Structure 1
């Protein structure tokens, strides 16, 4: 369902988890622009009213809670046949992942986590909500260390008749309380027992009870004594073990009276004065190993019928014995007893041998940890543990080929010898067909690549000029369309058209029309002969380019082949031009010899125009003409023997009539 939008608001991005009833997706709330988690009821249950009711009950249960250690519910809805619930998104991992990665946690950290779970349970119990499925898989640890209890999927409000739903046991068998395993009344103390199992697993790295079937594990919860935590991990303080022992006592009456009481014990169990306290003791219970199933009306009715039938048989037999004469000889009865006992012993011996031969005792072994190892090594370790590996291949984007992605079961589970351990091995990424991107827009091409699992980088799209393909569309691609490739192992190159080639307009002002045409042609441009405009200018030479109209100013980028309009001089001065003439006398003294004379003019016609550049041997008069505009005065500079500004004369526009 990735990519689907629910309720027109929640965009599903990636699957992050799932259980028997529902699948959880990371999603984006498009209205509030935030990350959320969306739990979607599996499609096969969408038409099952019982599952839908249970799903809605979870939402109602959690929605009534407001606590920093409980995952909040934001919204509940239905989109067609899809039932969904929108929850707070917690970025991090489950407590089970943490235990699988690190084994036993530091005692201080385990107690902190247990205390936060206990605080959440106390809040739920105060609101008459029992979780009924407390286990590490349902405990989220955020990146900030915050503990969040989630998955109230089988929670229900407390009533005087709260028992397992339709006599079916709900929850996870390794974390069952004895009363849950028995199918009896489920109360707050069942959550306390389950939390005790979680704390036991955190401080020891293993479960107290395991077996090769759910029934065998449930029976151990009912019958077997608890393996003491300090026997598994001697570093556990006695005060912490006492908390675990009190939470896991089989008699609910001897457990903590409430989650609040357990929380208070957890908050003080690591104080120095408590670390070496006496081990907690409970009264001996002779009935502890007996199993009492839940009593139902059907069982009571059946028991009544059996009792009446037995009483009738007993009365009839008694009357018969009273009426029948005692004709047997005295030795018959003892002989019958001896024969019956002998026959029973023979049959018992034969039966015992038969059972031993048919059902030999099979020892349990520890399941080895093989996740992250090569398939061959994983199979070898499993066989060395006297177990049977079963390999299932599946594609993976993140795990290399032939490396074990996960295993089932995983440590600390134990199995009977020759039990099956399923290992899910990566076959690498699946090859996909390269989509055809040519002529698509850049946005369409990017979306097509993402759908196939390709990563978009800064080097994926390359811009290129093209005369035929419209700007913003794909010219070419590598790899080509329909070629089989592995997304994360393939560098994709997509050429995007920027349209026809672009060139920069050169500055051709003050050039002749012919020179301007040559300069533009070198750049791939033309002169727009239909739009050559002649205007007066401060030059006495006609046909000189004096300007380029907007938007064709020099430096502008235009398409190659564009015809550029020009403005040229018509050989006449503008009407506002003013003219003046400045006499300059250059004296040559007797005996001075040859004198170098240079005169430049900066006026409306241009800057640093050389009007005189010669050598003289006798004094001489020069008449220097200038042209002025309202924007430009005239400056005459006279150089004598190379000395600048020998004379400098400025003529202003306003001084000339």
Structure 2
């Protein structure tokens, strides 16, 4: 049945119990998404039409009950040869398990349980439903302490086919009422008698009657008195014992008239003023009206009463005449012949009065003895020795089987196997009929653990960490058992790149730690400075770092400042920026100056400001390479010539500015066209303040030349102009105006 769907709606999960007539399974109601209990009739009853008809009628009748202490009936159905009842699923234990575990119970707890059972019976009786099988096995105690009575109406459906079922008779005979044991109609008082037995067992831990066979127990319910509860457990209040004594009277007329009356008694029995009330005494404690031994009346008595009271018989009509004649003729003969048949002797008269009754009684006694002997003989043949059921919970399945077999018992096949988080695989976690004596060869049901429910680990590759956590929580993995590790990888940040346990492995969701390795994205490092390196050096360094050139090419651009073949720029990652492996980098490499650019040498001839002194010369120039480029600073103590390299391109102009000792001395410009045509002299002279022989002191003509004839005046005048300009420039510089 496990895994089967009944009615296309109830998915059978596991077996949770069973009896002589039905097996009970835990199931899932797919339509309403809830747990239910499904009771399925055993296969031997499916062909008993009368049983099935009464089963359905009584189940439907029980479904009409709606009470907080009654297990609700949800549905009744049939699928092929399977007849089933769907009812409320109670998470907890039945009362029999609680009694076996810790009886005797505290008086307050036992009374509270009895009150709830009685409340349920009152509701059922008001709806004309008699339970007829009240026993601890049919009382469920939920985890919240709520008492639920189950199996309403099922006991009524028992037919002659179930009389021999050990599960139904043996399991219930200890709770039979006397009228139930006799087979007569059982009413409301029958349920109250059974409730009294249950209360007796809760408070004493024992049953009121024991016997070697079900028949002997049933006879004790009819004929014998039980040991009073306070004799077994002196801690029971007298008021509570009185309830048991009254509910277990053999005469139904002396019990409670209704469940409501018994409930009211239970509600007040623990009040202080009732605890020590007088013991309940009945007028007819012998209960002689309940199947006491009677002497059967003599069969011949009636016959004797119908005969004449005297032994004389009527005289025939001719007797008087004959007697008279005999008296006159033959005296003495005739009277003797007439007296023998008509007048018996003194010994014969009593024989007629006692022989026949004695024979009748003797025959009756013989028959009774023969019947008694036959019954004892049959019972002796049928009576099987009882054995103690060993406690096998906690043993492996093989060990449990061996222990039960050694005790002369059998294991009901197959054992029920369920997943249990707290029990290892292969260990027995429950059994039927524990801590009791049963017939040798009886079947014992075992519940064996399959260990924690294992799940298959799904694959979280390429899933986000959040989605993976939600999937694990849906499988029952506690969030505390989910561990996160982060690593650099080429996948997107936040994506799962590895997991433990691996995908497809079986794991215990409640206990297994799951580790998810999550990508932090590619690893980053500092971008090196490639500027100033030649192209080959830059390519090698990029390859070593795992970086790639954009399009595997470089960009070449002309440059006046960067020598040809050197890296001028790197894009988009500046030096020191964070970069990841396989990132693309664009390099701009200098192709040198443009083709139409020219390099022009500009000569600066300059003397110290004073003869024999030292001056500091500072030159700044502007050309195609940029503005106000610092050529440098030099110290001189005599006339020196400095060369300034200028780069010119068409339509541009270069400028050279000279300072001496921080004073502006000269600024000269040259255009591209002047440089190409040679029109610009390309030299500037900065003399000192004194002249000798037409030249400044310590100054010699360039290249040692003397002024040519006819050029002296012009040359001197030119020098005078230059000197005057220098003086003016000097004065201007002194005034702070370059």
Q: Please state which band the TM-score falls in when normalised by the shorter chain.
A: 0.5 to 0.7
Q: Is the 8 A contact 1:164 1:183 kept in 2?
A: no
Distance change in 2, residues 1:98/1:371 (3 Å): farther
2:143 — aligned with what? 143
C-alpha distance in 1 between matches for 2:117 and 2:365? 57
CA-CA distance at 1:6 after TM superposition: 3.4
2:600 — aligned with what? none
C-alpha distance in 2 between matches for 1:120 and 1:342? 52
1:287 — aligned with what? 289
1:223 — aligned with what? 223
Partner SS for 1:26: strand
Partner SS for 1:194: helix
Distance change in 2, residues 1:181/1:471 (3 Å): same
Deviations 1:555-582 (A, max 9, x none): 69xxxxxxx5735234599xxxxx9868
C-alpha distance in 1 between matches for 2:554 and 2:153? 83
CA-CA distance at 1:75 after TM superposition: 3.4
CA-CA distance at 1:78 after TM superposition: 4.0
> What are the within-5 Å matches in structure 2 for residues 81-160 of structure 1?
81-154=81-154
> What are the within-5 Å matches in structure 2 for residues 431-450 of structure 1?
none
Larger Cα Rg: Structure 1 or Structure 2?
2
CA-CA distance at 1:240 after TM superposition: 0.5
> What are the within-5 Å matches in structure 2 for residues 298-317 of structure 1?
none
CA-CA distance at 1:254 after TM superposition: 1.1
CA-CA distance at 1:269 after TM superposition: 0.7
Q: Could you tell me the TM-score, scaled by structure 2's length?
A: 0.53
> What are the within-5 Å matches in structure 2 for residues 42-81 of structure 1?
42-46=42-46, 48-81=48-81
Deviations 1:426-480 (A, max 9, x none): 898799xx99x99x9799xxxxxxxxxxx99979xx9xx9xxxx9999989899x
Q: Is the 8 A contact 1:546 1:568 kept in 2?
A: yes
Deviations 1:602-648 (A, max 9, x none): xxxxxxxxxxxxxxxx9899xxxxxxxxxxxxxxxxxxxxxxxxxxx
2:542 — aligned with what? 516
2:440 — aligned with what? 420
The two structures, once aligned, show a CA RMSD in angstroms of: 6.3
Distance change in 2, residues 1:41/1:314 (3 Å): same
1:546 — aligned with what? 571
C-alpha distance in 1 between matches for 2:244 and 2:76? 37
Unaligned runs of 5+ in 1: 157-162, 293-309, 444-454, 480-486, 522-526, 557-563, 574-578, 589-617, 622-657
Q: Could you tell me the TM-score, scaled by structure 1's length?
A: 0.58
Distance change in 2, residues 1:472/1:505 (3 Å): closer
C-alpha distance in 2 between matches for 1:421 and 1:373? 22
Partner SS for 1:272: coil
2:20 — aligned with what? 20
Deviations 1:32-85 (A, max 9, x none): 433332333345544544444344334423321111111122334444544433
> What are the within-5 Å matches in structure 2 for residues 274-423 of structure 1?
274-284=274-284, 285-290=287-292, 331=347, 370=391, 372=393, 389-390=408-409, 392=411, 398=423, 406=431, 408=433, 410-411=435-436, 420=440
Distance change in 2, residues 1:353/1:264 (3 Å): closer
Deviations 1:189-218 (A, max 9, x none): 111111111111111111111212221111
C-alpha distance in 1 between matches for 2:370 and 2:76? 60
Partner SS for 2:123: helix
Deviations 1:221-251 (A, max 9, x none): 1111232111211211111111011111111
CA-CA distance at 1:404 after TM superposition: 10
Q: Is the 8 A contact 2:130 2:153 kept in 1?
A: no
1:566 — aligned with what? 584
Distance change in 2, residues 1:4/1:420 (3 Å): closer
CA-CA distance at 1:494 after TM superposition: 12
> What are the within-5 Å matches in structure 2 for residues 634-649 of structure 1?
none
Deviations 1:473-497 (A, max 9, x none): 9989899xxxxxxx99xx999999x
